Amino acid sequence: MRYDALRKMVENFTIFLAYNADIDAIVRVSELKKIFTKKDFLKLKDEPLPTTIESKEDLLIGIINSMKNGTGEELPMNGRISCWLRKRIKPREKRMGGQIGIMSNVLSNLGFNCLVYFPLLSKEQSKLFERNPNLKFLTKDGWKPSGIYFKNVPTKINWIFEFSKGEKLFDVVAKDSSRFIAASRPDEDRIKSPLLESKVDEINEKADIAILSGYHDVRKKYSDSTYLKEIKAGERFLKKLKIPTQLEFANVSDVRIRRAIINHIASHVDVLSMDVNELISILDLIKKYPRRKERDSIWNYEALKIILKELNLKCVKIHRKHYFLSVSNGYLKKDYIKKAYLISRGFDYVKSKKGRIKDWNELKIASKVKPSLRGIKEKKKLEKYLRDNKEKLDVVIVPNKVNPNPKTTVGLGDVLSGGSFAIENLLSVRGR
């Protein structure tokens, strides 16, 4: 499908997005040599991944584990560590972070109407949102254009420690290109919102679909609330939402919070999207796993099938480095999902190449790139398995276009996941 046709199709298609955005302070792991010594590394190199960052030692342990495994990890940090980092490291750059922040910018640049709810829209944060007329924010005075900001709210800053495949920090070598996130959790960052709940009927009327994320940002305790109260407030809103909804799942180290999100949020959406670490974290709670030992596309399919059944969902998706996989039952036509993946893998490549996506024309860069050979092999392997076992679910697997030297790894899964959900529903509504 030509990009000029898509550009016209997105007109008057509206997406509601909530809850999370932040400012990502980007740092290369090599900068850590300024604040840690090899003695610190040798002392901590074999420690397991902590559940939170309560000390500078926890920070180093988290980064070591992330590099060893070549996976993206995110752990909440306390305010003291955040302050300690600000005093000792100058970020290489600051850019938009958070699933909803990243998706809002990309989707509005592509012409989708975006209605955003984000309670911590500070002046500094507001500057990182695109100044598009089709990007609007919920305020007590209604939907206001991009550029609006709230006074007296904190700016949420996450520290992103990026590393490339083969990069060294002391004696640890990165298994793959990825990042470790030390995430802030301000008390003011809430899911519960009387304002949002009062606008649910209007959102149902104005929006065609909804993309939700940020439940993983809840704290155990607040000054006047708890994680369970916040999650249940999100559930109340979700039950009143009558449009197709996708949850961008994110791993939560705290098992109680993760269970609350799965029980009260994930089970009420149409589509659940995740990466492999997030998939495993759900299986760990369900206590069911594929019998297959090899973690290939067949294993991922069987894992998604378990989640689809246990949570009684219409569709579950996983984005891997080399391919994207969707397993559904009673969702949309497979052809829409496949076309959406083929288009949105271009988003993934362009963001990895340039760090952002300005318009449809930039996707021409990706059109010249061949799909991953490993992704193609996994596709053939899974398709044979599905035929041999006469599987009846709707399954779509599409090889990714991989950039071997990404400018950034943050948000790649987000643009693919949000973009594919938007496009497959757009194609369904427009009947293309």
CATH code of the domain covering residue 400: 3.40.1190.20
The Cα 247–Cα 282 span in angstroms is: 14
Q: Report yes or no on 53 lying in a domain.
A: no
Q: Report yes or no on 26 lying in a domain.
A: no
pLDDT at 299: 98
Q: Report yes or no on 40 lying in a domain.
A: no
What lies within 8 Å, CB to CB, of 42 at 6+ separation is: 170, 171
Q: Report yes or no on 73 lying in a domain.
A: no
The Cα 345–Cα 324 span in angstroms is: 9
Q: Does 65 score more than 90 pLDDT?
A: yes
Q: Does 66 score more than 70 pLDDT?
A: yes
Q: How many CB atoms lie within 10 A of CB 334?
A: 14
Q: Does 18 score more than 60 pLDDT?
A: yes
Q: Report yes or no on 136 lying in a domain.
A: yes
The Cα 362–Cα 373 span in angstroms is: 23
Look up the domain containing 336 and give its range: 3-21+99-155+186-430
Q: Report yes or no on 30 lying in a domain.
A: no
Token readout for 169 is: 């920090």
pLDDT at 6: 85
Counted domains in the chain: 1
Q: Report yes or no on 49 lying in a domain.
A: no
Rg from Cα positions in the chain: 21
Q: How many CB atoms lie within 10 A of CB 128?
A: 18
Which whole number is the average pLDDT over 128-154?
Answer: 97
Q: Report yes or no on 287 lying in a domain.
A: yes
Q: Does 64 score more than 70 pLDDT?
A: yes
Percentage of the chain surpassing pLDDT 70?
Answer: 100
**pLDDT (tens digit per residue) in 367-398:** 899 999 999 999 999 999 999 999 999 999 99
Alpha-carbon separation of residue 107 from 244, 269, 422 (angstroms): 17, 21, 8
pLDDT at 425: 97
What's the whole-model pTM score? 0.93
Which whole number is the average pLDDT over 271-278?
Answer: 95
Which whole number is the average pLDDT over 115-134?
Answer: 97
Q: What is the mean pLDDT of the chain?
A: 94
Which whole number is the average pLDDT over 182-195?
Answer: 94
pLDDT band at residue 3, thresholds of 50, 70 and 90? confident
What lies within 8 Å, CB to CB, of 420 at 6+ separation is: 317, 324, 337, 340, 341, 343, 344
Q: Does 1 score more than 60 pLDDT?
A: no
Q: 20-37 burial, b if ≥16 CB within 10 A, otherwise e?
A: bbbbbbbbebebbeeebe
**Is residue 54 within 8 Å of 23, Cβ to Cβ?**
no
